[in-house]
Structure 1
Amino acid sequence: MKEIKNIIRQFDQTPPEEKLALATVVRVEGSSYRRMGARMLVSENGNWVGGISGGCLEGDALKRSRMAILKGKASAITYDTTIDDDHQIGVGLGCNGVIDVLFTPVDRSRADNQIELLKRITGGPRKISKLVKVTRSENSDLLGELLEFTGSESLQILKEEGVNIDELAQAVRSLDKSKNIHLSDELSLFVEVLPPAYHLILLGHQYDLYPLLRQTIELGWDITVVAPENKVSPMEGVNLMTPEVFDSIEFDDYTAVVLMSHSLHTDKENLRKLSKKKPKYIGMLGPRVRSERIWAELAEEGDAIPADLMQNIYAPVGLEIGANTPDEIALSLLAEVKGVFALKQIAHLRDKAQPIHERDEPMTFK
């Protein structure tokens, strides 16, 4: 999502008279540094933002993007790093993969051009969006077309190509991850499932908040800090809210919450509120014994944490990477959030039976 935001920012800052093209990775077979959906916005003067590889293919992509601008037509190219051919771009990179990239000129006269569409999606309500891009077509005017899927009505442009729109809509609706759809030898689509940016809600205001904010901003996630007024220094990209309006915060499947007030009572009351919200991730800063005390007190007060919510609580918070400083703990925490939402098997500190840190035993000389 950060890459998309950077592309939108570059688009808005580019003079209207300067022409642009968008390069998009639409298919990956085998190994590749970037995956499907990676983007690169190129201007006719050679400026670009984003990327389609680790820097290996950008030079050729820059030339092809400027060619798309010059011709005013979309084109597709396959970079095959699995073959031994001196004339093949990408040979010797060691990636051992096949990458299809679509180069599409950006038509500023269209209110629904690719960038304006991305802008509307990222600036609207938090939801999972599905984008349908035509990656192969005998109709040159159709190649590179980008549609936001909202149902059968949003795919009508494909009806003239002999596509059964209702069947296609059903297939797109069923997807939970990005995928290519081959309708015929002449027509292929790339359906990109685009979730909203992760939303990190931090409940606290002590000094260890700031390394976490800086790293989260760098990742391009949405951030909300809930703290008493005037306790947190304003930072660009950070939404500040007071505890009194906590109930107005919207939670979804991409929302993570961290209890980090350093006050046992405050964290306990916040966890009590979160029991009704049931976010997918709740991190509790501090040792396990502290969290266990909070859970026990809530149970004694008649507000025991439901079993299904307990599975979403990570205490101690973070991954076992040997983190000691606030910056390292922030890295450990954010890596855990990413792993949880990506459904990856990772080494959580909450699963560690021993103390987080080794106990310091003094040396004894006899």
Structure 2
Amino acid sequence: MNHELKEIINQAVINQQKGLKNVLATVVHLEGSSYRKPGVRMLISEDLNSVGAVSGGCVEKEIIHRAKSVFADNKPKVITYDGRYKLGCEGILYVLIEPFLISNAFINQFSDANSKRETIKIESHFTKENEAFGNFGSVVTFNNKEQFVFSDHFNFQHKKEVDVYTQILQPRFRLIIIGGEHDAVKLCKVAATLGWEIDVITCVKDSKQLKDFPGANSVVGDSPESIQFKNIEENTAIVIMNHSYVQDLKYVVKLSEYTPKYIGVLGAPNRRERLFNELFDFVPDLSDTFLDNIYTPAGLHIGAQTPEEIAVSIVAEILSVIREKKPFSLRNLTGKINN
């Protein structure tokens, strides 16, 4: 959810430049079940426009309405929303609504943490009551121990008689796409809608640029012989789609020096055995773990035919791997979805 917070911060800066106040609404506790879980946020500006969502769309109007008092008196509050009779979700949401004023120092720290792919801790102080007022608010702690609050009236050192919801925001999930053809562009677009950080590697002789891959963080020309991967062991997936078996093999050999959790290779099923056999020719001591992390052909078997559908199947497979879930239809599920 790091990308959601980034979107909120970007909009808050724009609103502040326009002279508009902001408040931040955070789901800090849940009793029962709901569409989304604690830690989700939405930004509301003084003109009652909003960014982000804390549900499927049913709760937001109520939160905007009840946030008006925070704009009027700058006093944070906690509200509840009982979805058992409105959403059919059988849950009660506890939402912290607090003034949201961000400083340039915070923006610099946040940008630096994102560029370094560091985790961010957010602690939200609240109470499990409806329409409750008190010493409520959120404190953000960065890896360098710098701490920030969004209101001068909030004293986070004083924790008496309050609950604290703690959230560790991981850096944005990273997708490395190796390839520069039409289908790579489609995969980039689909992954970008999820807020992933996308880096594209094309052939050195390829003339592709950043503008050719909407949503990408970077586009570079490189080769398997010269490329050096960094920080790909965690929170990263790699999809190889060169449409060249030789280039695909070279990249997989290069990746054997690392331990990424997902390596997808586009291609026909009959290439898999050949790829694995030739891998051992180049890297005889390959581990079973590395081989288990290679998914070829990349994607789930959902009948995908177009480049867009194939992109969806690949993204779905990546999610199933990193979330450690075996794909099946939710209609066969009994119990909670997000277990």
Residue 210 (str. 1) matches residue 185 (str. 2): yes
For 1:80 and 1:287, the matched residues in 2 are separated by 50
For 1:118 and 1:78, the matched residues in 2 are separated by 32
Cα distance, 1:151 vs structure 2: 9.5
Cα distance, 1:39 vs structure 2: 0.8
Q: 4+ residue runs of structure 1 moved beyond 4 angstroms? A: 108-112, 137-141, 149-155, 157-162
For 2:35 and 2:102, the matched residues in 1 are separated by 31
> Scaled by the length of structure 2, what TM-score is found?
0.83
- 1:153 to 1:211, Cα distance in 2 relative to 1, 3 A: closer
Residue 281 (str. 1) matches residue 270 (str. 2): no
> Scaled by the length of structure 1, what TM-score is found?
0.77
Q: Pairwise mapping of residues 1-366 of structure 1 onto structure 2 (< 5 A)?
A: 1-16=2-17, 17-82=19-84, 91-108=85-102, 111-112=105-106, 116=107, 119-120=110-111, 123-136=114-127, 142-148=135-141, 160-161=158-159, 186-229=161-204, 230-235=206-211, 236-238=214-216, 239-244=218-223, 246-303=227-284, 305-346=286-327
Determine if contact 1:8/1:119 at 8 Å carries over to the other structure.
no
- 1:220 to 1:305, Cα distance in 2 relative to 1, 3 A: same
- 1:140 to 1:252, Cα distance in 2 relative to 1, 3 A: farther
Of all paired residues, the percent bearing the same amino acid is 34
Instruction: State how many pairs are aligned.
Output: 312
The DSSP-based 3-state class of the residue aligned with 1:288 is coil
For 1:214 and 1:327, the matched residues in 2 are separated by 9
Letter matched to residue 253 of structure 2: R
- 1:188 to 1:299, Cα distance in 2 relative to 1, 3 A: same
Determine if contact 2:175/2:197 at 8 Å carries over to the other structure.
yes
Cα distance, 1:93 vs structure 2: 2.1
CA-to-aligned-CA distance 1:221-257 (integer Å, 9 cap, x gap): 1111111244424335421122255205431411100
Letter matched to residue 243 of structure 1: D
Partner of 1:177: none
Determine if contact 2:174/2:196 at 8 Å carries over to the other structure.
yes
For 1:54 and 1:137, the matched residues in 2 are separated by 23
For 2:59 and 2:210, the matched residues in 1 are separated by 39
- 1:132 to 1:333, Cα distance in 2 relative to 1, 3 A: same
Cα distance, 1:81 vs structure 2: 2.3
The DSSP-based 3-state class of the residue aligned with 2:12 is helix
Q: Which moved more, 1:225-234 or 1:118-127?
A: 118-127
The DSSP-based 3-state class of the residue aligned with 1:305 is coil
Letter matched to residue 19 of structure 1: K
For 1:271 and 1:109, the matched residues in 2 are separated by 45
Determine if contact 2:22/2:100 at 8 Å carries over to the other structure.
yes
Determine if contact 2:70/2:97 at 8 Å carries over to the other structure.
yes
What is the RMSD of the two structures over their aligned residues, measured on CA atoms?
Answer: 2.8
- Which segments of 5 or more consecutive residues in structure 2 lack a partner in the other structure? 149-154, 329-339
